[in-house]
Amino acid sequence: MAQTVQTTYGSASAGDPYTPTGGNGGYTAEHYDLTLDYRVITNRLNATAIITAQALMRLDRFSLDFAGLSVEKVTVNGARPTKITHSARKLVISLAATIEAGAVFEVVVRYRGAPHPVHSAWGDVGWEELDDGVLVSGQPCGAATWFPCNDHPGDKASYRITIACESSYTVVSNGVLSARSSRSGRTKWTFDVREPMATYLATVLIGRYRRRDLAAAPVAHSLYFPARLATRVGTDFARLTEMIAFFADRFGPYPFASFSVVVTDDELEIPLEAHGLAVFGSNHVDGEHGSDRLIAHELAHQWYGNSLTVARWQDIWLQEGFACYAEWLWEEQRGGRTADALAALHRGRVAALPRDIVVGDPGAHDMFDDRVYKRGALALHAIRKSLGDEAFFAALRAYTAARRFGQVSTDDFVEFFSEHTGSRAIGGFVDRWVLERALPSL
């Protein structure tokens, strides 16, 4: 019998039904080193991505998510692939030499073009030109519009992001600004993200921003904003230090090296969270604390979403429900309505809506539905009421510590909280508020 030569391919999907074409099988990304040379005026990008990955199986071929830009050259471990196929969303690389399971390999992709958003079920996502600058909104599938990647929250990696552009602009990205140098009217900015980061939370913000550093504790935090909004931003973010300290007390230490807020000159439909960052539009600052709720929400995502990240999108209530509950906690803390009053109010509002989704698996189309946010928050409030404040917040701090920088799921949450608190009621609360359609009483 002739020996069969087995060829193995990493599948071109992470297998998440919410983003069926997103992510890739067969390997895990360990580090992205991105060098972007960008012209704001013409929206032209010349870039190199060096991706360090580990094979999870024997690989003769694998794929990356990559959309809208032209690939100039690819090497894998220094060698040219035998074949490269670039479709609308995937870069498929056939290897000259098989990579063995467990081996670490390096992919270099040189690429260029005019980056632009891609259409998705949730609107346009990705690299987007502002009136005078750039914004990247990656959730859930926009990362591939500016770098080749394994675009799924289940595969986090560390990053170095270097961006050069016209010196008249300020560049903000994730992590710590580790170098900056200028030459011939262009400035190069280098950012290091040492903690594992999900692809959708990688971002670049370019604009004519002023920077104001706020306190260095509990974590260094800064504001970036257009000069015309200085007064309003100063007022609206005056309590940010206090808010970080409050959440650190309730949720455990702030997870990353810094926190930055960017307020764009453009209006934005909704604020965005990114790893170590929150982004607001000019319409979100009114100089009267009108966006306190949104500031609390985006800040809370640093713990729930960015440090503790869902392994599959269906569990997104573990990010949005928690961020929504953080809004209520903050309002209670600053002497507004209590979480109890807010829970009653929102339960009433949810009661007026159809009960046609399961919050713990709402379907791709409804993953950002308000009921996911509100019933998720209500589940947490019900658990808090049953445990009492001391036990509830102790469990929350233990949970964010135990799952720091990792992946979370609904089952894991129930198991962790049940074990940590010794309460047998946790699973029931999650069942009623998150996994069943009927709406329970508070």
Q: Which is nearer to Zn ion, 269 or 390 (CB)?
A: 269
Total binding residues for Zn ion by CB under 5 A? Answer: 2
Q: Which residue is nearest to Zn ion (CB)?
A: 323
Please report how close the Cβ of residue 323 comes to Zn ion at its closest, in angstroms. 4
Residue 374 and residue 381 in contact, taking contact as beta carbons nearer than 8 Å: no
Please report how close the Cβ of residue 118 comes to Zn ion at its closest, in angstroms. 21
First to last CA, the chain: 69
Please report how close the Cβ of residue 441 comes to Zn ion at its closest, in angstroms. 26
Given candidates 67, 76, 95, 323, which one binds Zn ion under the rule CB under 5 A? 323
Please report how close the Cβ of residue 301 comes to Zn ion at its closest, in angstroms. 6
Q: Which is nearer to Zn ion, 324 or 350 (CB)?
A: 324
- Restricted to residues 222-241, the positions that interact with Zn ion (CB under 5 A) are none
Q: Is 299 in the site for Zn ion (CB under 5 A)?
A: no
Please report how close the Cβ of residue 373 comes to Zn ion at its closest, in angstroms. 7
Token pair of 271 as six digits: 């604020």
Q: How far apart are CA 124 and CA 308, in angstroms?
A: 25
Q: Which is nearer to Zn ion, 36 or 323 (CB)?
A: 323
Q: Is 318 in the site for Zn ion (CB under 5 A)?
A: no
Cα-to-chain-centroid distance, residue 228: 29
Q: How far apart are CA 202 and CA 191, in angstroms?
A: 11
Q: Which is nearer to Zn ion, 95 or 329 (CB)?
A: 329
Q: Is 372 in the site for Zn ion (CB under 5 A)?
A: no
Q: How far apart are CA 234 and CA 209, in angstroms?
A: 14
Sign, CA torsion 75/76/82/84: negative
Q: Which is nearer to Zn ion, 265 or 320 (CB)?
A: 320
Q: Is 308 in the site for Zn ion (CB under 5 A)?
A: no
Cα–Cα nearest to 283, from 267, 264, 263: 267
Q: Which is nearer to Zn ion, 250 or 420 (CB)?
A: 250
Q: How far is CA 29 from CA 23, 54, 63, 169, 203, in A?
A: 11, 6, 12, 31, 17
- What is the DSSP-derived secondary structure letter of residue 314? G
Please report how close the Cβ of residue 357 comes to Zn ion at its closest, in angstroms. 17
Q: Is 262 in the site for Zn ion (CB under 5 A)?
A: no
Q: How far is CA 270 from CA 247, 280, 429, in A?
A: 22, 7, 30
Per CB under 5 A, residues contacting Zn ion are 320, 323
